Structures are given as structure tokens and as C-alpha cells.
Amino acid sequence: MGWHAVVVMVGLVSGADGPIRYLALGDSFTIGTGTPENLNFPSQLRAMLKKQGREVRLENVAVNGASTRELIRDGLPALAVVKPTHVTLAVGANDLVRGSGPAEYRARLKQIFTKLTAAGLTGNRLLVIPQPDWSQAPIAEAFGDRAELRTRIEAYNGILAEETKAAGGVYVDLWPLMVEQGAKKLFTSDGLHPNQKAYTAWAEALLPRF
């Protein structure tokens, strides 16, 4: 177990705010399952920052299938090594799929945010995004009724938004965009995960926060 990361340095000179040490925490929607590694949203965000002349060290320690439990165990130890200036967090879909109830999900989020804020990550240094509307994915019915899934996804995203705000982070509400992307079927060939075009829009929405 544990986390694995590849350090990537981009840019020749730092921007006005100095080098960015960017740690991406999450699950398959962050690692970009079904999409080339350089086209998941953290990698596209890194490339956009490079175009602005910023120096970025990206470590994406997201893991396919990770829930809040695995993120606490395997992802958060990276904080001590990376000492990030910025973090993106996206987690919850696997909690939902595995039947972790809302109270359990909230409790683990509190543990996660306690660690992140203790590392000095607040405001725009802690950007949190919702899980996408995978209830519209081609294979979503394998996980249950689409309408029920949509309701549960929104409920878990609501908890994530509340806990982000309580911790002093920034919840970047991509939900309207994600619903639109779902309607347009911007999914990879696996029929579940967003495609590179969807991730481009996520990265563009996050870019002004860095």
C-alpha cells in the first residue's frame, strides 16, 4: 500500500508568488482513470500554469478506488514529504458506492481537513471540488437507479461543501458544469469516468485560484 508519486517540475522561473508545490489528493476522478496521465485535470492545470510562467512541482497521489478511509491512510502522509503550498481534494464517490453513510463520510472528512489545515492549507491553498455527475454515465445503472444515485451524489457533495467551508478551504462548485458534461456524455471508453475534454474545463475553472 502507500502512495506513489512522480515529481514534475515545469517552468523556468517562478511566478510572482514563488514556486508552487501542488499535491493532488483524491480517487479515480483525480488520477484520471481511462485518460492519459498527462490529460487528467491536475496535469492539465500544471500545463496551464506553465504557460503563465509559473514553476510547479506536481505530485498526484490519487488512487483509483480510494475512499476517505484510504485517503487518510495512504494519501495524507504525503503532506509531510511534499509540504504543499496548494492542494486539490476530490473524494466521496467510493464512500457512496461502498455504503459509507453520510455521518461516516462527514466524520472522515473532518479528519482529513484537520490534517490539511494543520499543514497551513486554507483559502485558495485548499481547493475542493465535487464528485462529478456519474449518474449520467453509460454504466451508472450497474450501481443502482440513476435518479437515486443523482440524489445521493448531490447529498455527499453537499456534505463536502459544508466541511470545506468549515475548515476555511474553498469549495469550487463545478456541479452545474459537471451536470452539463454528463448530459453531453463526456465520458471515457470505460463508460464511467470523465474524458480529457471534461478535465480541461475543470482545470480552467481551478486556474484562477492558483
111 located within any domain: yes
55 located within any domain: yes
3 located within any domain: no
Q: Domain of 91: which CATH number?
A: 3.40.50.1110
Three-class SS of residue 106?
helix
124 located within any domain: yes
Question: Could you give the number of structural domains in the chain?
Answer: 1
177 located within any domain: yes
pLDDT per residue of the chain (210 residues) written in tens, 0 to 9: 444 443 333 333 333 457 999 999 999 999 999 999 999 999 999 999 999 999 999 999 999 999 999 999 999 999 999 999 999 999 999 999 999 999 999 999 999 999 999 999 999 999 999 999 999 999 999 999 999 999 999 999 999 999 999 999 999 999 999 999 999 999 999 999 999 999 999 999 999 999
20 located within any domain: yes
1 located within any domain: no
Residue 173 burial (CB < 10 Å; 0-12/13-18/19+)? Answer: middle
- Per-residue pLDDT tens over the stretch 117-167: 999 999 999 999 999 999 999 999 999 999 999 999 999 999 999 999 999
77 located within any domain: yes
How far, in Å, CA of 36 to CA of 47, rounded? Answer: 14
Name the residue range of residue 95's domain. Answer: 8-209
